[in-house]
Amino acid sequence: MRHLISIDDLTDEDLRAVVARGALFSAEGGPAGARPLEGDIAGIYFRRTSTRTRTAFSAGALRLGAQIVSYGDGDLQLNTGETSEDTGRVMSRMLDVLVARTADDPAELRAWAAQRRMSVINAMSADEHPTQALTDLTTLLGRFGRLEGLRVLYVGEGNNTASALALALTRFPGVELELRTPPGYGLADRFLTRAAEQAARHGGRFAERHDMAALPPDQDAVYTTRWQTTGTNKPDPHWRDLFAPFQVGEALWEDSPKAVFLHDLPAHRGEEVTADVLDGPASLAFQQAENKMHSAMAVLEWCRRGPTGPADGAGRSR
């Protein structure tokens, strides 16, 4: 039994194995009849709205043979005063795995994980979205056959998607990841430090700037997310003025004509990305959305059954 609260919960070997497993599921259209979670019960608990992550883990658990119990924001006795600790203790005696989106401090998830009966998976907290990063890497691996040496440009807010991507992608040799974030909306210092250290250790490069001048050429992928992150509000009434220069449009492909486009969705055409990019030939956004289910299956399998091969697919071209 394992927990996934943060990308940091994965060793380098685990990270490669989970991403490779997700890419294999994607290439083969699923687990090919295998049901490694037969007999397991998965709890799906979402306090915040979700289309892709909730559907991905629900469908993925069913495809792997598990049964699911689904909870919405108003379904648990937390709303009548039961403590979070007691809720977690009860769930751990009835469920084998709990997939939870709180969009709050991940300390609550850590508290629920302080037992040896139930795996806990972070389906998005305020500071990190680890299962999204695994989906992103699964998509890149499926497209390029490797993660080593990729060059990725992320444009937009330094949100929980960006922090998880930075923690995950910089652990692969030779990766160059550059973030362009609006002033005042960059990555938190602890993630900047970790990503820079990891990139240096693996012979890569990580940088963040707060403008759109002198963009790096020859990128393999350009990534953005919506400007209004799920479960958050921006106190500055003029925040859109700061974000406007960071819209992803076709001009970004002038110096990176072979780049693919990634977006974690939902998308707002005409805000963070233009319609001709999101719906254009470079876009992998909807394949990326489908890969959320394949990656979810890989995460569930890892949490409940441990690493499952092949793991070498994330380490070299295929």
Contact 178, 207 (CB under 8 A): yes
The most confident of 30-39, 114-123, 304-313, by mean pLDDT: 114-123
Which DSSP letter does residue 88 get? H
Report pLDDT digits (tens) over 40-62: 999 999 999 999 999 999 999 99
Average pLDDT (2-27) is 97
Confidence of residue 316 (pLDDT cuts 50, 70, 90): very low
Which amino acid appears at position 247 of this protein? Q
Helices (H), 64-159: 84-92, 107-112, 130-144
pTM to 2 decimal places:
0.94
Q: Does residue 106 have a pLDDT over 50?
A: yes
Report pLDDT digits (tens) over 113-147: 999 999 999 999 999 999 999 999 999 999 999 99
Average pLDDT (53-81) is 95
Q: Structural domains in the chain? A: 7-128+293-304 (3.40.50.1370), 132-288 (3.40.50.1370)
Contact 295, 131 (CB under 8 A): yes
Report pLDDT digits (tens) over 281-299: 999 999 999 999 999 999 9
Confidence of residue 309 (pLDDT cuts 50, 70, 90): low
Q: Does residue 83 have a pLDDT over 80?
A: yes
Contact 204, 170 (CB under 8 A): yes
Q: Rounded to whole angstroms, how far apart are CA atoms 162 and 179?
A: 8
Q: Does residue 78 have a pLDDT over 60?
A: yes
Report pLDDT digits (tens) over 207-244: 999 999 999 999 999 999 999 876 678 889 899 999 99
- Beta-carbon contacts of 224 under 8 Å, excluding residues fewer than 6 positions away, are 154, 155, 156, 246, 248, 262, 263, 272, 273
Of the candidates 135, 286, 155, 295, which has an alpha carbon nearest to the alpha carbon of residue 222? 155
Confidence of residue 263 (pLDDT cuts 50, 70, 90): very high
pLDDT at 318: 24
